């Protein structure tokens, strides 16, 4: 039986790689994001695979509900939802960070995930099967300077995914939070407002994760037998690890 996956944020990075991966594996793929022309180009590239493209902003509850209500019949029974759309904005310390950027991260990473999940999970419960995959981050577990609200949104996503598992107990619906470290996508370009030099320097001289690595992990978690639930999957490039806690000393 052909399965259906709905991927938010499929116009770039992880989501785009997932769309390619699942289409190649014969899935019905729903691709979403705000940039309509990118969605159309990707749908064209994936043809004749069954693809439904929908351009909308996950920050809007009304837009999410209209998207779900408007799904064509053959795409309406979503087996897997990947809450991937998200972003980091800025790296300034909390005391000088831009409040609008904070609000956008909360509205996208937290509210977008909530709206999508609440809209699609009842159908999964009704069918007695399904899988919600969320994109957390190592920033949701480990603090670093300037991660303030971005990291906090990803901590929310991690705990929401775990709590969702508790609520879905006995329904057959699975929940997995994928928690990557540094991966080279458009992530840093977005974080630094299009500054290519600053974005490029993040990955200079090291081997970051790439979008296909994350698509592989999502495919792995989703393809395991239905009695297996991967709760959390934390992954980093080998070149990224941990450091000592900084100590402010009096000179
Ligand atoms: P990209 O910037 O490459 O892709 C982000 C995607 O999210 C785009 O398709 C973008 O589409 C979509 N998006 C952003 N805002 C909205 C919105 N308001 N409504 C709908 N879609 C939106 O980033 P990544 O692929 O790297 O990131 C994907 C996810 O993984 C994010 O949640 C990110 O926080 C997380 N992550 C990334 C890591 C990294 O190092 N790259 C590491 C850990 C987690 P469009 O602009 O067309 O709307
Ligand atoms: C993105 C990973 O390390 O840039 O979520 O915060 S990191």
Q: Set out the domains of the chain in order of their start, with CATH numbers.
A: 4-235 (3.40.50.720)
Helix (H, G, I), strand (E, B) or coil at 62: helix
Q: What is the pLDDT of residues 120-175, one digit of tens each?
A: 999 999 999 999 999 999 999 999 999 999 999 999 999 999 999 999 999 999 99
Averaged pLDDT score across all residues of the chain: 98
What's 108's DSSP letter?
I
Ligand with the closest atom to the CA of 191: 1
Q: pTM of the prediction? A: 0.98
CA distance 216 to 149: 28
Using one digit for the tens of pLDDT, what is the confidence trace for 95-108?
999 999 999 999 99
pLDDT at 1 over 90: no
What average pLDDT does this structure show over 31-41? 98
Q: Which of 76, 85, 87, 61 is nearest to 10 (CA)?
A: 85
Instruction: Give the pLDDT band (50/70/90) at residue 251.
Output: confident
Beta bridge partners of 177: 134, 232
Mean predicted confidence (pLDDT) in 212-216: 98
Closest ligand by atom to 18 CA = 1
Q: Best substitution site from 105, 137, 140, 184 to test ligand 2's pocket, by max atoms within 8 Å of Cβ?
A: 137
- What percent of the chain stands above pLDDT 90? 99
Q: Which atom of ligand 2 is nearest to the CA of 154?
A: 5
* Catalytic residue flag (residue 144): no
pLDDT value of position 25 = 97
- Residue by residue, DSSP assigns 163-213 as HHHHHTTTTTEEEEEEEE--EESSHHHHHTTT-HHHHHHHTTTS--EEHHH
| C-alpha span between 19 and 6 (Å, rounded) | 9
Mean pLDDT over residues 214-240, rounded?
98
Pairing of β 28-33 and β 4-7: parallel
Q: CA 71, CA 77: separation in Å to the nearest integer?
A: 9
Q: Please state, in angstroms and as integers, the Cα–Cα distance from residue 244 to each residue in 144, 235, 241, following that order.
A: 12, 20, 11
Q: Is the CB of 199 under 6 A from ligand 2?
A: no
Task: Find the catalytic residue in 144, 150, 203, 220.
Answer: 150
Give me the mean pLDDT over the 42-61 stretch.
Answer: 98
| 58 CB near ligand 1 (under 6 Å) | yes
């Amino acid at each position: 039986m052909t399965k259906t996956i709905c991927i938010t944020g499929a116009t770039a990075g992880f989501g785009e790689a997932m769309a390619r991966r699942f289409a190649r594996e014969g899935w019905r793929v729903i691709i979403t994001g705000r940039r309509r022309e990118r969605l159309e180009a990707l749908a064209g590239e994936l043809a004749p695979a069954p693809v439904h493209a929908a351009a909308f902003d996950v920050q809007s509850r009304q837009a999410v509900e209209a998207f779900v209500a408007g799904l064509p019949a053959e795409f309406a029974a979503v087996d897997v939802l990947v809450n991937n759309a998200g972003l980091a904005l800025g790296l300034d310390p909390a005391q000088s960070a831009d409040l609008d950027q904070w609000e956008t991260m909360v509205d996208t990473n937290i509210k977008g995930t909530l709206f999508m999940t609440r809209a699609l999970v009842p159908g999964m419960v009704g069918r007695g099967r399904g899988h919600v995959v969320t994109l957390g981050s190592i920033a949701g577990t480990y603090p670093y300077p300037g991660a303030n609200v971005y990291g906090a949104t990803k901590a929310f996503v991690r705990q929401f995914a775990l709590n969702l598992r508790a609520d879905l107990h006995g329904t057959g619906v699975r929940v997995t939070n994928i928690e990557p470290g540094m991966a080279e996508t458009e992530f840093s370009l977005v974080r630094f407002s299009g500054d290519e030099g600053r974005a490029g320097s993040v990955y200079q001289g090291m081997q970051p994760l790439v979008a296909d690595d994350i698509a592989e992990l999502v495919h792995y978690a989703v393809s395991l037998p239905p009695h297996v639930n991967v709760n959390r999957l934390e992954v980093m490039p080998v070149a990224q690890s941990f450091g000592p806690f900084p100590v402010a000393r009096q000179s």
